[in-house]
Structure 1
Amino acid sequence: LMSGMPPPPPADFVVGQDVAVTPGNVVYRNGLMELIQYTPATTEVYAEPVLITPAWIMKYYILDLSPENSLVRYLVAQGHTVFMISWVNPGEDDRDIGLADYLDRGFYRALSVVRRLIPDVPVHTVGYCLGGTLLAIALAALRGEAQRQVASMTLFAAQTDFSEAGELMLFIDPAQVAYLDDVMWDQGYLDPKQMVAAFQLLRANDLIWSRMTRSYLLGREETITDLMAWNADSTRLPFRMHSEYLHRLFLANDLAEGRYRVDDQPIALTDIHVPVFAVGTETDHVAPWRSVYKIKLLTDTAVTFVLTNGGHNAGVISEPGHPHRHFRIGTRTEGDPYLDPDEWQASLAPVDGSWWPAWAEWLARHSGATVPARPPERGRDRGTSLPDAPGTYVHMS
């Protein structure tokens, strides 16, 4: 704690044994990501598969924690064919991996593999945190017929406008970015302990002082949860990507203001024409919900917005049966007047329970007929069979 780093992942939560245990197979691998397809749990599935893009600032199994709170397992049980990107944990040799690589060798490559394995139907796309920002960029750049590959876009705690990015802005200004550029240039990546300190200071009462009070003053042994174990299983960020993210998205806000370019062409989020489901969490210090809500200003498509209690992680991992959960949900369709976030919040009564079933119903409404379940085919890499889920990249420290 005093070093600014969380404790190492405890032995009670071993990846592939206690967490990240939903069965499946790695069906594709390149130098940036492994693509996992999960084994169906129903005899019939919706025709349209689901492709999840997590943030590479975290390991993907935040969405496949213990069996009772795994979003992946929940989706599979609801009759969805689920694919998950598992990102490589970059090192010094990966310093030149940029946002374009995460787009081309990451999401676009994964989408093409899913389309090859399950042809002739569009794909429900899901992005979490920075993975959601990448997803929005990707779909905005898929114009015309190309966007027909996609059935919908779901964003979990993902910002597309960074002008009001909350308390994190206290730590990110031009001088701090210049300092981080120097540090990352020397290392080739951003070390997790350099991120953890800032995030802990954002919630010092919860993440520093309350722990010190319990541990050092009261002598109480801390109970480690699966979410805490995942949080300790940290990742690095490549120099080029993180510098581009800080300069182009966070400081310049190029995506929201129409200056972000993909393949040297400017993109606009108004070019996204698929239905959107967006989730914000009430106490999010990383992606404040009013900032996430701006997707309704930046797109012209139908947007269903959910505001749930909890923070950036705990609000998303909100399985049915989780105590003390509530959410608000509303849909903006064509012709509806704009409501600012506070008006929107005041206009809707909270609903008790998890928001997951509401999302499952939304996915079902935007899906077609069911078809016989499609088990994953084990992929091959250089003539060698690829492993079962959770794959190999998730074990990289």
Structure 2
Amino acid sequence: MATQVKEIKEQQQKYSEAIDRSFQSAVGRLTNGISPAALTLAFFDWYIHLSIHPSKQMELLDLAQENFWHLVSQYVGQLYGNATGEYIAITTPHDKRFIDESWQQFPYSFIFESFLLIQHWWHCAATHVRGVSRHHEDVVDFTLRQVLDMLSPANSPFTNPEVQRAAIEEKGENFVRGFENFLDDMRRYQMNEPPAGAENYVIGENIAVTPGKVIYRNRLIELIQYSPATAEVYAEPVLITPAWIMKYYILDLTPKHSLVKYLVKKGHTVFMISWKNPKKKDRDLSMEDYLDLGIMSALDVISAVIPHQKIHLVGYCLGGTLSAIAAATMARDNDNRLASMTIFAGQIDFTEPGELGLFIDASQITFLENLMQEKGYLDTHQMAGAFQLLRSNDLIWSRMIHDYMLGKRKPLTDLMAWNADATRLPYKMHSEYLRNLFLNNQLAEGKYLVQGRPIALTDIKIPMFAVATERDHVSPWRSVFKINILTVGNVTFTLTSGGHNVGIVSLPVKKTKRHYRISMLKEGDRYIDADTWYKITKPSGGSWWPAWEKWLTEQSSVMIEPPPVGNENAGFVPLEDAPGSYVLQK
């Protein structure tokens, strides 16, 4: 009898949990994955503290009066032709909405300055309210900015002089073309097709074309070995681990933008992990599966194909985080197969995740877990939507103006085509990643478990090279810089211009606006902070690739004859030509 009662209660509990998950999943579809509870808590925290903060209220009142009288003087001055022309509106260097000359003419100058002053006032209202948690403050400020950006005068044909000028000159044809562009985009979205222009980039034909073979495949990865391009190669091969949030060929785009081709031409034997695009049946793939079936399996294959040689491990973004986990695990287990480790725009400390942290708290993660529970993975549209919100002016509103109001299409680049070729994230792995790393920061705190035992980043003694980018909204460079204080080996740190992707894809060319800062952080530099390092490290012009390749050769030993692609004696024969099959999965 007691057993039956227990079983009934357990069954009831399962039904209750299923109802909760189904309800929250339905809400999530309406809110595009944003937790209403997390948003409400943030605004409630802000509002309550602001309501008992009279000095902040007086400060905001003074600022509103100052802005009002400034605008009145500007308006009256413009009417009578004696305006000062001095704008006090605050914007950022990357805000391109009002740079056209037509915005400097009255009344548009008055309109855009009014908007920027209102936007700045709300930023002041949302920030520096004593008692509000930092996370809630960031959420409120970010949310208000999204709402105001949506209401920007640049987004309306009635207040945007560029759109009005185009409409007059083209007699409204820009709106016709814009509507056609809108319908085409909607159709592509509904049919899950790539954006216009992506058909010009075909994997294996004009992108991801560096010659090579798939020499190994398991349920999660394909391992590509690239064909040598020099008479001799460095003895130590290079294993590149891209993030599985993206397809690997960002590092092998068109030949002029291919890091793989660059390394092969410099005499390196390069291996690349190509991740499977998971489906519902792969829901239970875990972080440890990505470690075991991914990096560790690839290292085992490389050690069999090219025996008795150490390996340079390279990781990009989430692949960089996994590379650090792998290196720490190998150090703990006295596995000395690594010659060096390089991380491109990857974090090992998550206390400062940047604006991506806006979507990370216990409420939001629980909400995402309920959404993923139904499908078995995080949908690519949800992931893309989150990243677009981080740069809404560039990725949403400016595109709406350009494509739908001006009726133009920007030519799609190879990097843009790759960016539209997203992948899914399995339920279990993504949940573990968010909770263990982002939420609880277990890796940096020495609490991360591999095979049931903790690993420590301080066990990593091999030379390390870390690359960060100045405008990275995914892995902020000051966060990446913390590798200096979390490890004990020598770290060569490089900060390059650009963002998370553009900063990494940086082929050396003669004429370029790109630059980078680089220095080796030795034991005596452990306590230097990121901003001080930035001030004392002089920039160098051009791409950082040559500096890294030089460092890579310094960590290598001798030149040898190129090894064969695959190793039949070890049981690893070429399965098919690169780029393989997994990269083609939709």
State the TM-score bracket (shorter-chain normalisation): over 0.9
CA positional deviation for 1:348: 1.0
Name which of 344, 359, 365 aligns with 2:533.
Answer: 344
Tell me if structure 2 keeps the 8 A contact 1:8–1:233: no
Tell me if structure 1 keeps the 8 A contact 2:313–2:340: yes
Task: Identify the residue that residue 425 of structure 2 maps to in structure 1.
Answer: 237
Answering whether residue 489 of structure 2 is matched by residue 301 of structure 1, we say yes
Answering whether residue 297 of structure 2 is matched by residue 133 of structure 1, we say no
Answering whether residue 364 of structure 2 is matched by residue 165 of structure 1, we say no
Distance 1:214 1:347 in 2: 41
Distance 1:379 1:220 in 2: 54
CA-to-aligned-CA distance 1:238-284 (integer Å, 9 cap, x gap)? 00000000110010111111110111111110011100000000000
Tell me if structure 2 keeps the 8 A contact 1:9–1:232: no
Tell me if structure 2 keeps the 8 A contact 1:52–1:125: yes
Distance 1:104 1:215 in 2: 45
Answering whether residue 559 of structure 2 is matched by residue 370 of structure 1, we say yes
Answering whether residue 385 of structure 2 is matched by residue 197 of structure 1, we say yes
Tell me if structure 2 keeps the 8 A contact 1:126–1:153: yes
What stretches of structure 2 of length at least 5 have no aligned partner? 1-184
Distance 2:403 2:249 in 1: 28
Distance 1:105 1:280 in 2: 27
Inter-CA distance 345–383: structure 2 relative to 1 (3 Å threshold): closer
Task: Identify the residue that residue 310 of structure 1 maps to in structure 2.
Answer: 498
Tell me if structure 2 keeps the 8 A contact 1:378–1:386: no
CA-to-aligned-CA distance 1:115-157 (integer Å, 9 cap, x gap)? 1111111100000000010010111011267342000000000
Distance 2:567 2:255 in 1: 23
SS state at 1:335 partner: helix
What stretches of structure 1 of length at least 5 have no aligned partner? none
Identity in percent: 58
Q: Which has the higher contact order (CA 8 A, sep 6+)?
A: 1
CA positional deviation for 1:383: 11
Name which of 257, 271, 283 aligns with 2:445.
Answer: 257
Who wins on radius of gyration, i.e. which is larger? 2
Tell me if structure 1 keeps the 8 A contact 2:213–2:575: yes
Name which of 331, 338, 343 aligns with 1:143.
Answer: 331
Normalising to structure 2: TM-score of the pair?
Answer: 0.66
Task: Identify the residue that residue 355 of structure 1 maps to in structure 2.
Answer: 544
Answering whether residue 198 of structure 2 is matched by residue 10 of structure 1, we say yes
Query: Mapping of 1:93-242 within 5 angstroms?
Result: 93-143=281-331, 146-242=334-430
Inter-CA distance 362–385: structure 2 relative to 1 (3 Å threshold): closer
Q: Which moved more, 1:176-185 or 1:135-144?
A: 135-144
Aligned residues: 396
CA positional deviation for 1:210: 1.1
CA positional deviation for 1:295: 0.6
SS state at 2:281 partner: helix
Q: Which amino acid aligns with 1:203?
A: R
Distance 2:565 2:398 in 1: 45
Answering whether residue 282 of structure 2 is matched by residue 84 of structure 1, we say no
Answering whether residue 564 of structure 2 is matched by residue 395 of structure 1, we say no
Distance 1:334 1:247 in 2: 32
Tell me if structure 1 keeps the 8 A contact 2:309–2:337: yes
SS state at 1:179 partner: helix
SS state at 2:518 partner: strand
CA positional deviation for 1:173: 1.5
Q: Which amino acid aligns with 1:103?
A: L
Answering whether residue 519 of structure 2 is matched by residue 330 of structure 1, we say yes
Tell me if structure 2 keeps the 8 A contact 1:9–1:233: no
Superposition RMSD on alpha carbons, in Å?
1.9
CA positional deviation for 1:337: 4.7
Inter-CA distance 188–277: structure 2 relative to 1 (3 Å threshold): same
SS state at 1:222 partner: coil
CA positional deviation for 1:176: 1.0
Q: Which amino acid aligns with 2:422?
A: S
CA positional deviation for 1:377: 2.7
**Larger strand proportion, structure 1 or 2?**
1
Q: Which amino acid aligns with 1:312?
A: H
CA-to-aligned-CA distance 1:214-243 (integer Å, 9 cap, x gap)? 111211112100000001111101000000
Q: Which amino acid aligns with 1:31?
A: R
Normalising to structure 1: TM-score of the pair?
Answer: 0.96
CA-to-aligned-CA distance 1:46-86 (integer Å, 9 cap, x gap)? 00000001000000000000001100000001100000000
CA-to-aligned-CA distance 1:292-330 (integer Å, 9 cap, x gap)? 111111000000000000000000001101721100001
CA-to-aligned-CA distance 1:98-118 (integer Å, 9 cap, x gap)? 001001111000001001111
CA positional deviation for 1:379: 7.4
Tell me if structure 2 keeps the 8 A contact 1:42–1:79: yes
Q: Which amino acid aligns with 1:331?
A: M
Q: Which amino acid aligns with 1:396?
A: Q
SS state at 1:207 partner: helix
